[in-house]
Amino acid sequence: MRYSEMFLPTEREIPSDAEVISHQLMLRAGMIRKLSAGIYCYLPLGYRVIRKVEQIIREEMNRAGAQEVFLPMVQPAELWQESGRWEYYGKELQRFRDRHDREYCLGPTHEEVITDLVRNELKTYRQLPKNLYQIQTKFRDEIRPRFGVMRSREFGMKDAYSFDADEEGAELSYARMFEAYKRIFARCGLRFRPVEADSGTIGGSFSHEFMVMADSGEDGLVFCSECAYAANLEKAEVHPPEKADMSAIEELPLTEVHTPNIRTIEEVSAFLDVTPQDIVKTMIFNADGQPVAVLIRGDEEVNEIKVKNYLGCNEIELAMDDMIEEVTGAPRGFAGAVGIRARIVADNSLLNMKNFVMGANREDYHVRNVNVGRDFSIAAFADLKIARETDACPRCRKALSLARGIEVGHVFKLGTKYSKAMGASFLDRNGKDQTMIMGCYGIGTGRTVAACIEQNNDENGIVWPMPLAPFQVIITPVNINDKALADTAERLYDSLVAKGVEVLLDDRDERAGVKFKDADLIGIPIRVTIGPKKLAEGKVEIRMRDTGEVNAILLEQVEETLLSQIASKMGENVSGSHD
């Protein structure tokens, strides 16, 4: 491709509405342009990178035995009513009516469509397992799209669905996808980590997210310093504290203290001159309409998802003031466990606490020297807190580490959630009707590209890993009006193109500085600079974008040198060959 002919509008200044680095660089490098909130156009440079990601995905999905299909984006409401998600999915699901007033939605995901397709066509265990995937545009009417293509409303996604006859088969399908995903993200040149995750509204029993490590990521994750445990912060378990021998500590008499307008942990600890570790927080939740009091040590935070999963409820939120007053008889800020009219659950952080402070369920009062058993009882302790770095690994008790990441892929064991609701069954060996067991597996293509930029950039722009680079090589003659330079550039360009190298020839009549800045900004891994001084010696310069290393190479050796550089940079992230 000739730069002079390419639609590649680069920007010198940072667009004012871009916050994160990947968004800024995608705009500046002419990869994307915004059409509307959360809706983006991909320009040629950006789309070339998308196609690189898609190609890697295709190769690895095909290798893992999946087959590519292409499903409609517009989906009839009836299918979603069948699965029950027409009601449950909420406002993210973009609904509309056609001219006959029939209801439809734009596909945010395709469990319904694929399950419908499969139930109509697959009838016997002999036809199973099957794994079908597509790469397609999804639409989710996000409450707040942000960070460019990282969280957009319209976005590209690879989604795969597996159908198995039995649990062992489903396990195998899941494991194969898990391995395929590891290969995909490794081949993309990403530093990533698979983590255990909550399965959310997609549902199902078990899932892993693939997190690209980046401080700008929206998700928190924890991982063990010793063993393989890693999980999304939403899900991360912690090992309960060692049970200490508390018998030596005498239980002091319960005392009510006047604490006028003292509500928060900070206020209470300052006012009563105790540490937050001496206080128990009582959080009132509304769980499917029922009040639940969650007790946790003052310096810890409640993980709502853990509470939700522990209670097994559908909806959970912090209770409104009227519910708080109903169960405590006091306004917000003075809730405690003693005498509360709500189910009580306690985090493990209470295990070794004695003579602690909590709200008195009376306005402007707290109580001191509260003790579990004597003053109120707890049916069971559970892990309900947000994990911290001071917590111990739930598997091996070693130290946990915290990091931030970008979720680029998610694999779910769906079980029979959709196949049962929609009647996707088959006849087994004995002629008996059985429900298919499903899995689903997603990768955000645009998000993968953005995540890659988050990990690979410097002050001059993007630094593409070779496998995702829109071009492998850029040829930069420093002055196109110097015929010797221009001719050399043209000849090298032709010969590299003939060898199948993806090369951009910067044939613009611009000064060298402008070309260098643009080459750095768009992040092409290898730049061949053709200038008068080195050319007089029969040489050109090869400069690596990542290290900045420059080597002068004899013209007759350039092609060979480039081919070997490219080859070594294509495969350096994955051992073994790939088709």
Q: What is the distance between the alpha carbons of residues 279 and 266, in angstroms, rounded to a whole number? A: 10
Does 208 sit near RNA (CB under 7 A)?
no
- 481 contributes a contact to RNA by CB under 7 A: yes
> Least distance (Å) from RNA to the CB of residue 482?
7
The binding track of 18-57 with respect to RNA, each residue x by CB under 7 A or -, is: -x--------x-----x-xxx-------------------
**For residues 56 and 184, is the Cβ–Cβ distance under 8 A?**
yes
Classify residue 319 by its DSSP letter. Answer: P
Task: Tell the smallest beta-carbon distance from residue 179 to RNA (Å).
Answer: 20
Q: Does 517 bind RNA (CB under 7 A)?
A: yes
Stretch of 273-281, 429-437, 450-458, 530-538 contacting RNA, by CB under 7 A: 530-538
Kindly state whether residue 158 participates in binding RNA, applying the rule CB under 7 A: no
Residue 13 binds to RNA (criterion: CB under 7 A): yes
Nearest Cα residue to 285 out of 362, 247, 340: 340
- Taking the C-alpha atoms of residue 60 and residue 64, their distance in angstroms, rounded to an integer, is 6
Contact 551, 533 (CB under 8 A): no
Can you tell me which of 41, 228, 246, 514 binds RNA, judged by CB under 7 A?
Answer: 514
Of 12, 100, 243, 483, which one interacts with RNA (CB under 7 A)? 12
Token pair for residue 387? Answer: 């994990």
Number of residues that bind RNA (CB under 7 A): 64
Q: Exactly one of 130, 151, 176, 417 binds RNA (CB under 7 A); which one?
A: 151
Among the listed ranges 122-130, 263-271, 341-349, 473-481, the one in contact with RNA (CB under 7 A) is 473-481
Helices 167-187 and 44-63: crossing angle in degrees, nearest 10, is: 140
Amino acid identity, residue 237? Answer: E
Token code pair at residue 21: 């680095």
The reply on whether position 136 binds RNA by CB under 7 A is no
CB neighbour list of residue 92: distance below 8 Å, 6 or more residues apart: 108, 140, 141, 142, 143
The full DSSP string for 510-539 is --HHHHHHHHHHHT-SEEEEE-HHHHHTTE
Give me the helices (H) in 291-348, please: 304-311, 321-328
- When binding is defined by CB under 7 A, the residue of 53, 157, 466, 542 that contacts RNA is 157
DSSP 254: P
Stretch 304-333 residues interacting with RNA (CB under 7 A) = 304, 317
Q: Rule CB under 7 A: say whether 99 interacts with RNA.
A: no
Measured distance CA(142)–CA(155) in Å, rounded: 11
Single out the residue of 6, 10, 263, 323 in contact with RNA (rule: CB under 7 A): 10
Least separation in angstroms between residue 198's CB and RNA is: 8
Provide the binding-site residues for RNA, judged by CB under 7 A: 10-17, 19, 28, 34, 36-38, 90, 92, 109, 138, 140, 142-147, 151, 155, 157, 200-202, 218, 304, 317, 407, 410, 412, 442, 444, 447, 460, 478-479, 481, 511-514, 516-521, 529-535, 541, 543, 550
